[in-house]
Amino acid sequence: MGFEARIAQGPRVEVVRCANAGDAGARLEAAIARGARGIVSFGIAGGLDPALRPGDILVASAVHHNTGQWRADAAWSSTLLRMLPDAKPGKMLGADAPVTTAQDKQALHRTHGFAAVDTESHIAAAAAARHGLPFVALRVVADDAASTLPEAALAGFGAGGRVNVIAVLAKLARSPQELAPLIRLARHTSLARRSLARARRHLGPHFGLLDLD
């Protein structure tokens, strides 16, 4: 989402904002070539653990995808958890598409113990591993495990994290019953955005990476 990029930016932080997975990989490689010292997957996520609520902060212990799994840098992750006492550690699932139903979310947690899911962390983790760079993932829950994403919200996912308002309105015109869950999702996303911004302020200009030096 666009707001994730705006919150993340800061001195000596290069924000990689992408339209798709292929674009993400290419932009990460370019950023690494320019001298990146570490990679942070930063933004919102879908909750899979029923104990997590919108606005809760997760620091990933590892990221899993069907192509592999990657452990987060232990020292850097510990620094994040120390700087954010309310954050929780947990396993992240990297998915190629959003996990949309409450049933699927809860099954992933029950079967594999995943705490949350997003569609970017596995790309960042793989890039960091290829180049021997430290990697962490800090994600804030927007839609929790009990929430099924309305189709109107999925229709609104535009390129580069932009919201396609026309597509959302068109879907709502065909399915007006989705208005209430869409409003609920917007409220939860707003909570996540505020939590993400607070976390960013606490982490300082370099996401705690230079504190390890």
Q: Which of 16-20, 49-53, 87-91 has the lowest mean pLDDT?
A: 16-20
Buried b (16+ CB within 10 A) or exposed e, 167-185: ebeebbeeeeebeebbeeb
**SS3 state at 173:** helix
pTM of the model: 0.87
C-alpha 123 chain-centroid distance: 11
Could you report the per-residue pLDDT of 57-94, keeping only the tens digit for each?
999 999 999 999 999 999 999 999 999 999 999 999 99
- Considering only the C-alpha atoms of the chain, give the largest distance between any 2 of them, rounded to a whole number of Å: 55
Q: What percent of the chain has pLDDT over 70?
A: 85
Q: Does domain 2-212 have CATH number 3.90.950.20?
A: no
User: How many C-alpha atoms does 47 have within 13 Å on its Cβ side?
Assistant: 24
Q: Is the pLDDT of residue 22 over 90?
A: no
Q: What percent of the chain has pLDDT over 90?
A: 66
Q: pLDDT at position 181, please?
A: 75
